[in-house]
Structure 1
Amino acid sequence: MNVITPIHADTTISVTDLRKMNPSKILEQAGGNPVAILNHNKPEAYLLSAKAYEKILDRLDDIALQEIVKKRLGGKTVRVSLDEL
């Protein structure tokens, strides 16, 4: 049983308090940063703004594209002119 649990947010709220508040207000108070939702003092979930979530998805897309580029480095090339595109 793990007694120490890392929390990946500077702001936390309990599940009980979350039920009493507007999620938008919670994010506003957190300055738009992620909020750890605690259940029995352990992180159960994270609340983040749509903007923060979209930023994470964009970064994951960038990482996936970097992997594709790395795999293709040194591979077969084809010379084309801009007019052919």
Structure 2
Amino acid sequence: MAIHQILTRHTASISDLKKNPMGIVSEGTVEEGAIAILNRNEPVFYCINPALFAAIQEMLEDKELGEIATKRLATLNPVEVSLDDL
């Protein structure tokens, strides 16, 4: 029997989700923004609210832009300047 990590405090069964989808999702995502949906006590997917999804998208974009900036900085020849010269 495999043990699966559940990454949220709130969970619901897939059967409960079928019975009351909006109720389960809205109640489960109020505090943390996410709820784990379980099938036979194993997480099968996570529902997240739009605010959390937007935050995740922004973090991923920031990470990607950071990687691009790091690559570009590696190709530049640094020039020393004084703040007084600016």
After superposition, the C-alpha distances for 1:15-40 in whole angstroms (9 at most, x for unaligned) are 000011132x3343232520000011
Q: Name the CA distance, whole Å, in 2 between partners of 1:8 and 1:50.
A: 18
In structure 2, the gaps of 5 or more residues are 78-86
Q: Verify: 1:16 aligned to 2:21, yes or no.
A: no
Q: Name the CA distance, whole Å, in 1 between partners of 2:2 and 2:18.
A: 26
**Structure in which a larger fraction of residues adopt helix:** 2
The number of equivalent residue pairs is 75
Mapping 1:41-56, distance limit 5 Å: 41-56=41-56
User: Of the candidates 26, 29, 35, which is equivalent to residue 27 of structure 2?
Assistant: 29
In structure 1, the gaps of 5 or more residues are 78-85
Percent identity between the two aligned chains:
32
8 Å CA contact 2:16–2:24 kept in 1: the answer is no
Q: Give the structure 2 partner of residue 81 of structure 1.
A: none
Q: Alignment RMSD, CA only?
A: 1.7
How does the TM-score come out when normalised to structure 2? Answer: 0.76
